[in-house]
Structure 1
C-alpha cells in the first residue's frame, strides 16, 4: 500500500491506528490545514486511510483540523472521496462526521461511475443507504455499466434495499443497463425469485421487456426452480 511508504508517516500512523502518533505529527506541522491533506502516490490523503481502517477517533481528530477543507476535492486515483470510502465500509458515525456542517455532493462518481449509494448497496449497508437518501443522494445515476443502485440491490437479493430504493428513493424499475437488463433480469439471473416477484407485484416491473439479444427476464432465470417460482407468484 502506498501509505506504507516511508515518505508518508501520517498516512502510516492512520493505518496503524496510532492516534498519539497522528497528533504528534499534526502538532509539528508548520501549516496543518495544508499539510494534513497531502496525498500519497495513490492520491490518497491520511483521511482516506483513517476511514478505510475505520479509526473513528483519528477521523474526528483529522477533521477538527480540516474545517475549511472541501472533502469533495479529496479524490484518489480512482476518484474515490472519503465519502465513497465511508459508504463502502459502512461506518455511519464516520459518514455523519464527514457530512455534518459541510456542503458535500453525495452523487460524485468514481472512475467506474459508482456513487456512494451504489457502494453502500453493494455491501448491503441498509442504514448507510437510508442516511444517504435522507441527505439527498440520488438513485437515478448510472454507473459505467449503465446500472442504477437498484440493479445492484436486485442482483444481491436484498428485499430491504429494493423496497427502500423504490419507496423512499423512488427509483425507476425498468431502466436497462448496457446489456439491456433491468433490475428484474439481475434478480432472476442470480436466483432471487422473491425479489423478482416483489419488483413486479409491488413496483410494477415490466417482465415482458427484452434485453439486447431479444431475451426476456424469465428466460435468464438461474434455474428452473427460480423460473417456476416467479411464474407461480407473479400477478398476471
Structure 2
C-alpha cells in the first residue's frame, strides 16, 4: 500500500462515501491506512462528524475509539470505555481534538453531558478549537448553553484569534445574544 493511496483514502474518509466504498472494495487493506499526518480513515470521518462514513468503516473492520463512539452518539460505548479507562474523558482523536469536540461534531448532546459530568474538560488552550467555538459554529443552542453553564470560557480565542462571540457574529449566528 503506497503512502499516496493511504493519504487519498483518509482524505476521502472526511466527506466522500462513494470514493471510500470504491477504494475499499478494490483495496480492503486501506481500512487500516494511516495518512502521512498520522490520521486514520475513521479518525477523519469522526472529527467531521460524518456518521455514514464512520458506520461504513466500522462495518468493514475499522476499530472505533472513544472519539468515534462520541461522534456516533454511542453513549453506552463511551461509558464502557471510561469505566475501563477513566483517563479517556480527556482522550484526543485526529489532530489532537478532544472527545468533547467529537461529541459536539456528531451532534450528541447526551454524550456531551455525560462526558462533562464525568470530568471531561469544557475548555481548551488559547488558539485551538474549543468546545464552545465548535458548538457556536454548529449553531447548537442547547450545547452552547450547557457549555456556558459548566464553565466554558467565552473569552478564549480560536486559531484565528476569534472569541466565540466574534465567531458567532462572523457567521451570522442566532447565538450572538446568548454569548453577549
TM-score between the two structures when normalised by the length of structure 2: 0.64
Segments of structure 1 that go 5 or more residues without pairing to the other structure are: 12-39, 59-75, 201-236
Asked if 1:120 corresponds to 2:120, the answer is no
Selected match of 2:112 from 121, 129, 139: 129
2:136 is aligned, of 140, 154, 158, to 154
Q: Which residue of 2 aligns with 1:163?
A: 145
Instruction: Kindly indicate whether the alpha-carbon contact (under 8 Å) linking 1:156 and 1:187 is maintained by their aligned counterparts in 2.
Output: no
Q: Which has the larger radius of gyration?
A: 1
Q: Give the Å deviation of 1:92.
A: 1.1
Residue 199 of structure 1 corresponds to 179
Kindly indicate whether structure 1 or structure 2 has the higher relative contact order, using CA contacts under 8 Å at least 6 residues apart. Answer: 2
**Structure 1 residues 108, 81: CA separation in 2 closer, same or farther (over 3 Å shift)?**
farther
Q: Judging changes above 3 Å, is the alpha-carbon distance between structure 1 residues 120 and 7 closer, same or farther for their aligned structure 2 residues?
A: closer
Shift in alpha-carbon separation, 1:7–1:150, aligned structure 2, 3 A: closer
1:50-89 to 2 correspondence within 5 Å? 52-53=54-55, 82-89=65-72
Distance 1:165 1:6, change over 3 A: closer
Distance in 1 between residues matched to 2:69 and 2:116, nearest whole Å: 15
Aligned partners of 1:166, 1:100: CA distance in 2, in Å?
Answer: 26
Q: Structure 1 stretch 125-134 or stretch 81-90: which is displaced more?
A: 81-90
Give deviations 1:34-54, integer Å, cap 9, x for gaps. xxxxxx34497xxx9xxx439
Instruction: Provide TM-score, normalisation by structure 1.
Output: 0.50
Retained in 2: the 8 A contact 1:113–1:142? no
| Alignment length (residue pairs) | 144
Q: Distance in 2 between matches of 1:176 and 1:7?
A: 40
Q: Cα RMSD over matched residues?
A: 3.7
Deviation at 1:150, TM superposition (A): 0.2
Q: In structure 2, how many angstroms separate the alpha carbons of the residues matched to 1:191 and 1:138?
A: 27
Counterpart pick for 1:177 among 152, 158, 175? 158
| CA deviation string 1:135-165 (max 9, x = no partner) | 111011249x622110111112211111111
- Structure with bigger helix share is 2
Pair 176,41 (structure 1): closer, same or farther in 2 beyond 3 Å: closer
Structure 2 unaligned segments of length 5 or more: list them.
Answer: 1-19, 41-45, 47-53
